[in-house]
């Protein structure tokens, strides 16, 4: 049975890395002493080692160890032996390109479906949807496909921002971009605001955190859902 936390972000304004989620993660990873970390998204071009060290410092606060998948000679074997998995944020295209390069997409799907707890933040959450076409990231590399894990039956837009009525910015809003997406695609999109996450247990998908989420469905007006809402029927 799938066990997943699909979070909008790793860091809230004014808090430390993963700090707002640590109490949840202590319970979520209760059967895993070591978390396999996938650092491929490389925020700001950070090295895999430096990114893993940052994650390690956060997990030590809840008595867990993090080990980067790049430290293993056989990343596919490392995945299949993992007791818990974390895919961090950064650039979604870089992340997906490396997952395909190392032939890990199917392995990751299989491991998650087997019940190994999976945490994704930002780019690591984008890959949980049907495609990565609703990411906010620049396509700085060209992965073989925009299709990824498909662990939930919709797309995700992490770091969702509402239009600022006081702004003089005349460019497209997140809502406009998602409407553009729906001119060519029909799957729903969840706009996950900072500090919100999806808790997945098997086929159950519950919105968690303090904030509502914005839902975009094909040929429908966008609407809000309250935290605690069951989103299992959104397809």
Instruction: Let me know if residue 48 belongs to a domain.
Output: yes
Instruction: Let me know if residue 230 belongs to a domain.
Output: no
Residues 120, 164 contacting (CB under 8 angstroms): no
Distances (CA, A) of 77 to 34, 108, 163: 15, 11, 44
Q: Which residues contact 202 (CB under 8 A, 6 or more apart)?
A: 1, 2
Give the pLDDT confidence score for residue 28 in this predicted structure. Answer: 98
Q: Print the domain residue range for 67.
A: 3-225
Q: Which residues contact 46 (CB under 8 A, 6 or more apart)?
A: 54, 90
The catalytic residue among 159, 182, 212, 232 is: 159
Give the pLDDT confidence score for residue 171 in this predicted structure. Answer: 66
Instruction: Let me know if residue 232 belongs to a domain.
Output: no
Give the pLDDT confidence score for residue 156 in this predicted structure. Answer: 98
Give the pLDDT confidence score for residue 185 in this predicted structure. Answer: 98
Tokens of 204: 């159950």
Give the pLDDT confidence score for residue 110 in this predicted structure. Answer: 98
Give the pLDDT confidence score for residue 163 in this predicted structure. Answer: 77
Active site residue 122: yes
Give the pLDDT confidence score for residue 170 in this predicted structure. Answer: 59
Run means of pLDDT, 10 residues per run, the chain, 235 residues: 97 95 98 98 97 98 98 98 98 98 98 98 98 97 98 98 74 91 98 98 97 98 98 95
Instruction: Let me know if residue 91 belongs to a domain.
Output: yes
Neighbours of 145 (CB within 10 A): 11
Give the pLDDT confidence score for residue 232 in this predicted structure. Answer: 96
Instruction: Let me know if residue 143 belongs to a domain.
Output: yes
Instruction: Let me know if residue 233 belongs to a domain.
Output: no
Name the domain count of the chain: 1
What is the total residue count of the chain?
235
DSSP percent split of the chain into helix, strand, coil, nearest 5: 30, 20, 50
Residues 89, 117 contacting (CB under 8 angstroms): no
Instruction: Let me know if residue 231 belongs to a domain.
Output: no
The catalytic residue among 8, 122, 125, 196 is: 122
Active site residue 137: yes
CATH of the domain at 164: 3.40.50.880
Local structure of 147: helix, strand or coil: strand
Give the pLDDT confidence score for residue 93 in this predicted structure. Answer: 98
Measure the CA–CA gap between 155 and 209, rounded to whole angstroms: 19
Active site residue 232: no
The single-letter DSSP state of residue 184 is T
Q: What is the pTM of this model?
A: 0.96
């Amino acid at each position: 049975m799938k066990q997943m936390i699909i979070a909008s972000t790793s860091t809230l304004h004014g808090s430390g890395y993963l700090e707002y989620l640590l109490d949840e993660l202590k319970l979520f990873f209760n059967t895993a002493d070591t978390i396999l970390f996938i650092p491929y998204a490389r925020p700001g071009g950070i090295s895999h080692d430096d990114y893993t060290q940052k994650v390690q410092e956060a997990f030590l606060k809840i008595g867990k160890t993090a080990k980067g998948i790049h430290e293993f000679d056989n990343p596919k074997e490392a995945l299949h032996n993992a007791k818990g998995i974390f895919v961090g944020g950064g650039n979604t295209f870089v992340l997906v390109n490396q997952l395909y390069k190392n032939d890990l997409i199917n392995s990751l799907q299989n491991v998650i479906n087997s019940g190994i707890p999976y945490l994704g933040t930002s780019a690591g959450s984008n890959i949980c949807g049907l495609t990565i076409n609703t990411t906010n990231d620049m396509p700085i590399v060209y992965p073989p496909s925009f299709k990824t894990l498909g662990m939930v039956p919709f797309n995700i837009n992490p770091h969702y921002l509402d239009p600022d009525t006081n702004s003089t910015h005349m460019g497209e809003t997140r809502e406009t971009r998602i409407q553009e997406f729906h001119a060519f695609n029909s799957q729903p999109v969840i706009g996950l605001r900072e500090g919100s996450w999806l808790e997945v247990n098997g086929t159950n998908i519950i919105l968690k955190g303090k904030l509502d989420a914005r839902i975009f469905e094909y040929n429908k007006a966008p609407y809000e859902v309250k935290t605690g809402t069951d989103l299992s029927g959104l397809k």
